Amino acid sequence: MRGADETSGSLFSYVDLEGRIPARHPLRKIRQVVNEALASLDAEFEALYSDFGRSSIPPERLIRASLIQILFSIRSERQLMEQMEYNLLFRWFVGLGIDDPVWVP
């Protein structure tokens, strides 16, 4: 029996990004190494930012996004942000949840 070609615009999403990324995907190891390096830079990042004012984009996310741009040869930041809107692998690597907004380039 042929299934119907229907789309459903579900209101809620129960996608676990961690579960969507294959266990043997090469970005898993890269992300682990990057997270360890960024953790060692935490004190330096903390010293660069003020204690008051509006929160910025975490520098760790910006660095991970730049790595994605380099690794996948994305030509511009605008294209990177466009792809991060719909690419679950990129969102996972950068540290964005599925419903988190992508920042403006």
Nearest to 84 by CA among 63, 67, 68: 68
| Number of DSSP helices (H) and strands (E) in the chain, helices first | 6, 0
Q: In a 3-state reduction of DSSP, which class is residue 72?
A: coil
The total number of structural domains in the chain stands at: 1
Exposed/middle/buried for 96, CB within 10 Å: 0-12, 13-18, 19+? buried
Other CB atoms within 10 A of residue 90 CB: 22
Percent with pLDDT over 70 in the chain: 88
pLDDT at 30: 97
33: domain range?
24-47+57-94
68 neighbors 93 (Cβ within 8 angstroms): yes
pLDDT at 15: 72
Residue predicted with more confidence, 56 or 84: 84
Specify if 103 maps to a domain.
Answer: no
pLDDT at 73: 97
34 neighbors 65 (Cβ within 8 angstroms): no
Question: pTM of the predicted model, to two decimals?
Answer: 0.84
Specify if 85 maps to a domain.
Answer: yes
Report residue 64's pLDDT band, with 50, 70 and 90 as the boundaries: very high
Report residue 14's pLDDT band, with 50, 70 and 90 as the boundaries: confident
